[in-house]
Structure 1
Amino acid sequence: MKKFMIFYMADPAAFETMMQNSTPETRKKGMEAWMHWMTAHKGSIVDGGAPLGKTRRVDANGAKDVKNGIGGYSVVQADSHEAAAKMFSKDHPHLQMPGAWVEIVEIMPMPGM
């Protein structure tokens, strides 16, 4: 089985607006949808992941705060990219947010490890 890093993506402004407008009821409903999805795919989930916070970029010129569209991550295993993508159908909880998308990146094996 191959492993894939899943990035839950959205426009930062849209995500912030959604969070500001959420209610305890919508958060509970959203968490229930996530738990249902995770239970349905428990055999393929290596790491359920978590939401991600602020980003700090470090390069040869130093460190600075930056914004990106990564809202969270998971790690899944599947036979192929296509098989991994099938886990993220249009009814996936993250895709219920307007303008959201999922990026699926294969985790390549390290030679000799």
Structure 2
Amino acid sequence: MPKFLAVYTMKHEDFARFRSLPKSEQDAIDAEGIPKWIAWEARNAAAIVNRGGMVGKTTRVTKEGIAPATNGICGYLIVEAETAEAAARLFEDHPHITVFPGDGVDIMPFVTDPPE
């Protein structure tokens, strides 16, 4: 079955807005979102090939050297599905976009063998 990279994205200003909330409000969002995230993973366990993880700040390597960089990627996982649309449908109710300040999940097919 085809495998897809699902990349969680978040706008920097949305993350900054979340982090500027009082700690009690951040904790309340986490208290709602984390159980929903766990439940989402349980519901979709058969499609999840690799749970991936969340990522932090970016360091970019170019011909000019190594430097801090900015992008909207904040995490990833690998799923398998019949089509890209079917893979995308797995994420329609994902807490990353329904509870947390994430702005999307990008779905990309692997054109080479993905890591297991």
Q: How does the TM-score come out when normalised to structure 1?
A: 0.87
Residue 49 (structure 2) pairs with residue 49 (structure 1): no
Hey, what's the Cα distance between the residues in 1 that align with 2:102 and 2:95?
A: 13
Kindly report structure 1 stretches of 4+ aligned residues shifted beyond 3 Å.
none
- Partner SS for 2:35: helix
What is the root-mean-square deviation in Å for CA atoms of aligned residues?
1.6
**1:13 alignment counterpart:** 13
Inter-partner Cα distance in structure 1 for 2:19 and 2:81: 31
2:46 alignment partner, SS class: coil
What CA deviation, in whole Å up to 9, does each residue of 1:55-104 have, x standing for no partner? 01101110110111111111111111111011011x21111245611100
Q: Is the 8 A contact 2:18 2:26 kept in 1?
A: no
Matching residue of 1:2: 2
Structure 2: which 5+ residue stretches go unaligned? Answer: none
For these two proteins, the number of residue pairs brought into alignment is 109
Matches of residues 1-113 of structure 1 in structure 2 within 5 Å?
1-21=1-21, 22-89=25-92, 91-96=93-98, 97-98=100-101, 100-109=103-112
Identity %: 34
Cα distance in 2 for residues equivalent to 1:63 and 1:10: 23
Which structure 1 residue ranges, 5 or more long, are not aligned? none
Q: What's the TM-score once normalised by structure 2's chain length?
A: 0.85
